[in-house]
Amino acid sequence: MDARALWQRYQDWLYFHEGLGLYLDVSRMRFDDAFVESLQPKFDKAFADMAELEKGAIANPDENRMVGHYWLRNPDLAPSPELTQEIVQTLEKIEAFAEKVQTGAIHPPRASRFTDVISIGIGGSALGPEFVAEALAPDFPPLKIHFIDNTDPAGIDRTLNHLRNNLASTLVLVISKSGGTPEPRNGMIEVKKAYAGHNLDFAQYAVAITSPDSNLDKVAKSEGWLARFPMYDWVGGRTSEMSAVGLVPAALQGIDVRAMLEGAKEMDDATRIPDVKNNPAALLALSWYFSGNGRGEKDMVVLPYKDSLLLFSRYLQQLVMESLGKEKDLDGNVVHQGIAVYGNKGSTDQHAYVQQLREGVPNFFATFIEVLEDRNGSSPEIDPGVTAGDYLSGFLQGTRQALYENQRDSITVTIPQVNPRTVGALIALYERAVGFYASLVNINAYHQPGVEAGKKAAAVILDLQTRVLAVLQKEKTPLSLGEIADKAGAADQIEAIYKILRHLHANQRGVVLQGNLGQPSSLKVSAS
């Protein structure tokens, strides 16, 4: 296509949301009109499915749940007055709590203000808060946020070491929808011990964000934690940023949560329009479908050209891959769906993997996120008439063009600036696009059966560890791995047993390995 025709295509397909100042350009995805036409029946169904879902239909059949994250930003849409009221009241409660913490009306026992906050959670209970903190927290927030989003002991130590002198003024959020996920539970227990080690009463620092009556909720209630906020069963973890999960940490950092909700609401309104060309989420879903033949054959590379949006790709990774990565479709056929997502930020990535994007395996499509405003205030000139922001803008355009010339398609989302409204809108845009795409490929976007397999397998390993340690404690003489496996009644688990013992040995946990470490079968194991 020559430059003139491309310019025409750009204008023909350009979507612009006036209220948000958001543009979506899908002109560099090479679909034609016939393709768009062919997807129309699927889109008719996707629009109808979405309307049902918003009315409260059970859209997550295996978990028998409604899917209502859209109601969080427009509570009047909730299917019952009780739900509407609950959403409104929770938001008011969050704002009141954040204000009291910031003004010192709620303060820790030994300090006049909370200065820091540790947010403990994983997956949907971490990625949204992390993305939003990186994107929107002021340079000098009223409370500085720190995350524990894993069960990595060294990671937990690092966070606690940074806070060693401030623990007495650090609030702790424990975020877990189920209230039973091992990683946040472990984080909570370790942090609780650290507080006890400093003679601090954890309950006076702790806030729970979880489903009412979950294990976490029960602990928080019985121990009299500072506050508890509800997580609703009709909000999935990966779409929970605008529930208490995301709003509590955001509000504590002084981020305008109402503006975030407003931006999301405006985007939700725009993505309700049942017309593909005038619906930005439908345009995204169409582009994804085109690129990967409706089978996820191409990866989504997300490249925001703005440092503060660094974590957007990580956030989208869960939203897209946990929602779309499914073995079976809604009719039970094995389909192995999904779209792989990765990315970091431009122009930084141009000096890393963009080389492969331009010349290597053409197994992806790019999504550029462009921010029109360079910075708050004016920019110095780097060269005559040229600023650092001009470079950034030039690099984005240049990369988009270089990819296109080499048959690599891309989408560009442009926002006027990174602010609570546009971040709320971006989240809402992708949430809806994922919903539409799931409908196009006929899968349930709202469950995650695959994640359970890993959790169950880990539980089996921990149980095996207990059995193996019991065997070793009884024995006087060193045993081979095979002997331990037999005695533990787990002859078929010898490799797992070896790895458990090697890990315990490395951590001086009462296990000694003797022999050639490179030849596991030569090892003799004893309790120390």
Ligand X SMILES: O=P(O)(O)OC[C@H]1O[C@](O)(CO)[C@@H](O)[C@@H]1O
Could you give the count of Cα atoms lying within 13 Å of 440 in the half-sphere of its Cβ? 30
From 373, 455, 495, 503, the catalytic residue: 455
Contact segment (CB under 6 A) with ligand X among 119-127, 271-279, 365-373, 470-478 equals 119-127
448 contacts ligand X (rule: CB under 6 A):
yes
Q: Which residues inside 450-469 make contact with ligand X, applying CB under 6 A? A: 451
Nearer to ligand X by Cβ, of 116 and 241: the residue is: 241
Site string (301-340) toward ligand X, x via CB under 6 A: ---------------------x------------------
Closest CA to 99 of 242, 209, 252: 252
Report the Cα–Cα distance between both ends of the chain, in Å, rounded.
73
125 contacts ligand X (rule: CB under 6 A):
yes
Write down the least CB distance from residue 196 to ligand X, Å.
23
Per the annotation, the verdict on 351 as an active-site residue is: yes
Site string (176-205) toward ligand X, x via CB under 6 A: xxx--x--x---------------------
Judge whether 134 and 308 are in contact, CB under 8 Å: yes
Write down the least CB distance from residue 245 to ligand X, Å.
7
Nearer to ligand X by Cβ, of 39 and 67: the residue is: 67
Per the annotation, the verdict on 455 as an active-site residue is: yes
Site size for ligand X (CB under 6 A) = 14
Write down the least CB distance from residue 338 to ligand X, Å.
15
CA distances from 496 to 452, 484, 493, 507, 527 (A): 19, 12, 5, 17, 18
Write down the least CB distance from residue 238 to ligand X, Å.
6
Nearer to ligand X by Cβ, of 315 and 404: the residue is: 315
Nearer to ligand X by Cβ, of 28 and 177: the residue is: 177
Per the annotation, the verdict on 503 as an active-site residue is: no
Amino acid (one-letter) located at 125: S
Write down the least CB distance from residue 340 to ligand X, Å.
18
387 contacts ligand X (rule: CB under 6 A):
no
Site string (481-500) toward ligand X, x via CB under 6 A: --------------------
Give the separation between CA 223 and CA 235, rounded to whole angstroms: 26
Write down the least CB distance from residue 469 to ligand X, Å.
27
Contact segment (CB under 6 A) with ligand X among 121-129, 383-391, 460-468, 517-525 equals 121-129
Torsion angles phi and psi, residue 170, rounded to 5:
-115, 120
Judge whether 236 and 69 are in contact, CB under 8 Å: yes
Nearer to ligand X by Cβ, of 181 and 279: the residue is: 181
Give the separation between CA 125 and CA 141, rounded to whole angstroms: 21
Write down the least CB distance from residue 438 to ligand X, Å.
15
329-338: list long-range contacts, CB under 8 Å, 24+ apart.
329/441, 329/442, 329/443, 330/442, 330/443, 330/444, 331/442, 335/295, 335/441, 335/442, 335/443, 337/295, 337/296, 337/441, 337/443, 338/296
Closest CA to 71 of 56, 59, 57: 56
Instruction: Report the residue number whose CB is nearest to ligand X.
Output: 237
Residues 6+ apart with CB under 8 A from 35: 290
From 18, 37, 351, 456, the catalytic residue: 351
Judge whether 187 and 148 are in contact, CB under 8 Å: yes
Give the separation between CA 390 and CA 287, rounded to whole angstroms: 28
Both tokens of residue 314? 């990580």
Give the separation between CA 504 and CA 512, rounded to whole angstroms: 8
Site string (219-258) toward ligand X, x via CB under 6 A: ------------------xx--------------------
Nearer to ligand X by Cβ, of 146 and 177: the residue is: 177
Nearer to ligand X by Cβ, of 119 and 125: the residue is: 125
Write down the least CB distance from residue 122 to ligand X, Å.
5
Write down the least CB distance from residue 431 to ligand X, Å.
14
Judge whether 358 and 365 are in contact, CB under 8 Å: no
Closest CA to 513 of 527, 501, 497, 525: 525
Select from 68, 124, 230, 292 the one that contacts ligand X (CB under 6 A). 124
Nearer to ligand X by Cβ, of 208 and 468: the residue is: 208
Q: Which residues pair with 176 in a beta bridge?
A: 210
Closest CA to 388 of 374, 372, 402: 374
Site string (148-177) toward ligand X, x via CB under 6 A: ----------------------------xx
From 130, 322, 370, 431, the catalytic residue: 322
Closest CA to 368 of 331, 398, 411: 411
- Length reported for the chain: 528
Nearer to ligand X by Cβ, of 64 and 376: the residue is: 64
Q: Is 453 exposed, middle or buried (0-12, 13-18, 19+ CB in 10 A)?
A: exposed
Which residues of the chain form contacts with ligand X (CB under 6 A)? 122-125, 176-178, 181, 184, 237-238, 322, 448, 451
Catalogue the active-site residues.
Answer: 322, 351, 455
